[in-house]
Amino acid sequence: MDTKIIFHCLGISQKHYFKKFVIPTFVFAILFPFLLLIALPSIMTGIMAVLVVVISFVLVAMVLIYPITEIEKKRKEINNTIHYYITHMGVLATSQMSRVDILLRLSQNEAYGYLAKETGRIYALIYYWHISFPVACRFIAKRTPSVLFSDFLDRMAHSVQAGQDFENFVISEQSVVMNDFMTMYKDSLNSIDMIKEMFISMCMSLIFIVAFAIIMPIITGMDAIMLLSGSIAIFVVTELVIVLFAKSKVPTDRIWHTLEIETVADRRIKWSMPVSLLACLITTGIVINLNLPITIKFAVALTPLLFTGLIARTEEDKIKRYDDNFGAFIRSLGGAAGSRSGLIIESLKELVSHDFGPLSENISNLYKRLKTRLNTMRSWEHFAAGTGSNLIERFATMFVEGTNVGGKPAVIGDIISRNFMDIVSLRKLRYSSASSLIGVLYGMTAGIAATMFLAVSIISMLAKLFSSVPIPDIDIGISISAISNSNIPLLTTLLMFMMVCHSLLSAMLIRIVDGGHHFNTYTHFVGLVWISALSAELTMRGMVPLLGMM
C-alpha cells in the first residue's frame, strides 16, 4: 500500500515517524542484548539469552507492523459505516443546505468515527484553505485507506466539475454506494466459510496432539499431567487466535442501540447476569458434594448462565422483528408527511391505527410523546430505545434531522426505507451463515469430547489391568509405573476444563458471526458444555463392555 496513505492515516509524516519511533526502536533492539551481556553476564545464558533476543525482534516487528495494522483498522471503520454515511448525506441533500454545510454536519457526527474525520479534512481544505470542492475531494480520495470512499469522492468531484445538481447526484449515489457496500459485506460473509474450515481443521489436528499427550506417558514414562496441560494450552491458544482472526474479518454490524436511555429490556439483561453468577456459585457448592461424574458436575455448575443467555436471545429476537417492520413504517410516514407539507405529527396520527406488527405499540407511544411538543429528538430517541435496535436508532435520527432542516419527507422516507431494507436483507444472510456454523460446532464438540475421553477410557482400562495382573520384571516397551500411577479423575478434570474453554470460544465465534449481544454467548456456551459432558459420559460408559472393564 502507498506510504502516503499509511502516514496520512497516522497523522504523522514518514520522516517524523522514522525519526521518532523506528530508529530509536532499532537502536534499543540492537543495544539492549549487549548492555545486558556487559552488565549482567550471569543471566545471559540459555533460555534467558534467547528470550532477550526474541524481545528485541518483537519490538522491531511491532514498530514496523503498527502502521499497517492501523490503516487496516481505519479502512474497516470506514467500510463499516459508509452505508449510514451515504444515507445521511442523501437525507441532508434533499434540504436547501449547501454541499459544504452538509460536509460540516457529517464531520461533526461522532458515530462515523474515522469517516467523520476524513470528511472534516475535506471541509477544512475547502473552508480554511480555500481549495475548490473537486480538488479537496480528490486530495483526500488519494489518501483515504478505503477504496469504497475513495471511489465515491472521485465521482463526487467529477459531478461537481460537470455541474450536476448535488441532490440528484447524491440520490443516484445511494444505489451505487449501497451496491458496493453489499458486495463488500457479502465477501466478508464468504470468509466465514473459510474461517469455519480453518477452525475445524485446526481442532481436528490439535485433538490428536491432546490424545497423544494422554497416551505418550505409557511409552515414555513422562509426567502425563505436564504433557496434557501443555497440549491443552496449545489447543486453547490456537482456538483463541482463530476467534480473534474471525473478529477482524467479519463486518462489524451492531444490533443493539447505543442510547443512554435505559429501557425495561436493558434492565432485565443488566440484572440477569448477577443472578446467573450467584446461581452458578450456589449450584457449584451443591454439586461438589454430590455423587455425580466430574463431567456432569461441570455442566450443572455452569447451567444457570443459560438464564442470562435466554433473556438476551429473547430480546434480540424482538429487535429483529422491529427491524423487519421499520422500513414499511418510515416509508409510509415519509409519504404521508410529503402529502401534508411536512407535518409529521398529523401524518403519524393517521398511521397509529395501521398495523405495523410489534412496532405498532412503539409508534403509538411516539405519537403521544410528539403531541406534547416538548422535545422532538428526545421523543424519537425514546422510540428507538424502546425497540432496542441500533438500525432504527441511526435511521430514525436521520429522518428527524432531515425533516428538521427542511428536507423532503417523501424522498427522505424512500431513501431510508430502501437502504434500511438492504441492510436487513444482508443481516439475514449473516444469520443464515451463523445457523450453519452452529450445527457444525455442536457436532464437532461432540466428536472432540468422544475422542478425548476414549483415550482416557483406554488409560483407565490399562491401569486396572496392570494393577491386578503380575508383570514380569522385563522391558516390554511400556511404562508400567506410568500406567499404574495414572490419576484418572485429574485427567478427566483437565479434559473437561479444556472442553469448557473450547465451548466458550466456540460460542464466542458464533456470536462474532451473527453479531448479537455478548450475553447471547452464554446460550450456546451452556449448550456446548452439556454436549461435551454427555458425549464424554456416553463414550466412557459405552467403552466399559468393549474394553472388558465390567
**pLDDT tens-digit readout, 428-444:** 989 988 888 898 899 99
Residue 511 clears pLDDT 60, i.e. is over it? yes
Q: Which residues contact 251 (CB under 8 A, 6 or more apart)?
A: 79, 80, 184, 185, 188, 189
| 550 or 377, greater pLDDT | 377
Query: Which range (4-8, 203-207, 316-320) has the least confidence?
Result: 4-8
410 & 486 share domain: no
Residue 549: what pLDDT? 45
Q: Which amino acid is at 482?
A: A
459 & 339 share domain: no
Q: How far is CA 298 from CA 45, 493, 526, in A?
A: 44, 9, 10
35 & 71 share domain: yes
Q: Could you tell me the residue range of the domain that residue 31 belongs to?
A: 3-79
Q: Domain boundary at 133, 164, 195, which?
A: 164
Mean of pLDDT values over 145-167:
93
In a domain, 442, yes or no: no
Contact, 384 vs 259, CB < 8 A? yes
Write out the three cell numbers for 531: 454436549
Percentage of the chain modeled with pLDDT above 70: 91
Q: Which of 281, 298, 211 is nearest to 504 (CA)?
A: 298
Residue 248 clears pLDDT 80, i.e. is over it? yes
Residues 277, 279, 284, CA angle at the centre, nearest 5°?
Answer: 95
State how far the Cα of 549 lies from the Cα of 173, in Å rounded to an integer. Answer: 72
Band of pLDDT at residue 174, cut at 50, 70 and 90 = very high
Residue 116: what pLDDT? 94
Q: Which of 536, 327, 537 is nearest to 451 (CA)?
A: 536
Band of pLDDT at residue 247, cut at 50, 70 and 90 = confident
Q: Which residue shows C-alpha cell 422516507?
A: 413
Q: How would you write 390-440 as a 3-class SS string?
A: HHHHHHHHHHHHHHHCCCCHHHHHHHHHHHHHHHHHHHHHHHHHHHHHHHH
248 & 341 share domain: no
Evaluated on CA atoms 273, 279, 284, 290, the torsion sign reads: negative
Evaluated on CA atoms 368, 369, 373, 379, the torsion sign reads: negative
For the chain, how many structural domains are there in total? 4
100 & 215 share domain: no
389 & 306 share domain: no
Q: Which of 397, 320, 383 is nearest to 110 (CA)?
A: 397
Residue 44 clears pLDDT 80, i.e. is over it? no
Query: Which range (27-36, 366-375, 413-422, 446-455) has the least confidence?
Result: 27-36
In a domain, 392, yes or no: yes
Band of pLDDT at residue 540, cut at 50, 70 and 90 = confident
Residue 2: what pLDDT? 65
Residue 550: what pLDDT? 39
Q: Domain boundary at 58, 79, 100, which?
A: 79
277 & 335 share domain: no
In a domain, 480, yes or no: yes
Residue 520 clears pLDDT 60, i.e. is over it? yes
State how far the Cα of 438 lies from the Cα of 510, in Å rounded to an integer. Answer: 7
Q: What is the pTM of this model?
A: 0.86
| Mean pLDDT score across all residues of the chain | 86
pLDDT in tens, 267-309: 888 899 999 999 999 999 999 888 888 899 999 999 999 999 9
In a domain, 257, yes or no: no
202 & 314 share domain: yes
Residue 466: what pLDDT? 58
Contact, 76 vs 252, CB < 8 A? yes
Mean of pLDDT values over 13-35:
82
In a domain, 435, yes or no: no
Secondary structure of residue 164 in the 3-state scheme:
coil
Q: CA Rg, the chain, in Å?
A: 30
240 & 274 share domain: yes
Which DSSP string do the residues of 277-326 spell out, in sequence order? HHHHHHHHHHHTTS---HHHHHHHHHTTHHHHHHHHHHHHHHHHHHHHHH
Q: Domain boundary at 62, 79, 96, which?
A: 79
| 120 or 471, greater pLDDT | 120
Residue 319: what pLDDT? 93
Residue 499 clears pLDDT 50, i.e. is over it? yes
State how far the Cα of 395 lies from the Cα of 397, in Å rounded to an integer. Answer: 5
In a domain, 171, yes or no: no
Contact, 345 vs 413, CB < 8 A? no
Q: Of the spans 82-91, 261-270, 513-522, which averages the highest pLDDT?
A: 82-91
**Number of helices followed by number of strands (H, E) in the chain:** 22, 0
Mean of pLDDT values over 372-378:
84
Q: Which of 263, 281, 399, 268 is nearest to 337 (CA)?
A: 399
State how far the Cα of 174 lies from the Cα of 178, in Å rounded to an integer. Answer: 6
In a domain, 35, yes or no: yes
Q: Which amino acid is at 49?
A: A
Query: Which range (226-230, 277-281, 531-535) has the least confidence?
Result: 226-230
311 & 457 share domain: yes
Mean of pLDDT values over 174-188:
91
225 & 309 share domain: yes
Residue 244 clears pLDDT 70, i.e. is over it? yes
Q: Which of 212, 217, 302, 225 is nearest to 492 (CA)?
A: 225
140 & 197 share domain: no
Residue 532: what pLDDT? 94
Percentage of the chain modeled with pLDDT above 90: 45
Query: Which range (167-171, 263-267, 283-287, 458-462) has the least confidence?
Result: 458-462
State how far the Cα of 401 lies from the Cα of 326, in Å rounded to an integer. Answer: 17
Mean of pLDDT values over 213-231:
75
In a domain, 179, yes or no: no
Mean of pLDDT values over 183-193:
85
Mean of pLDDT values over 378-406:
92
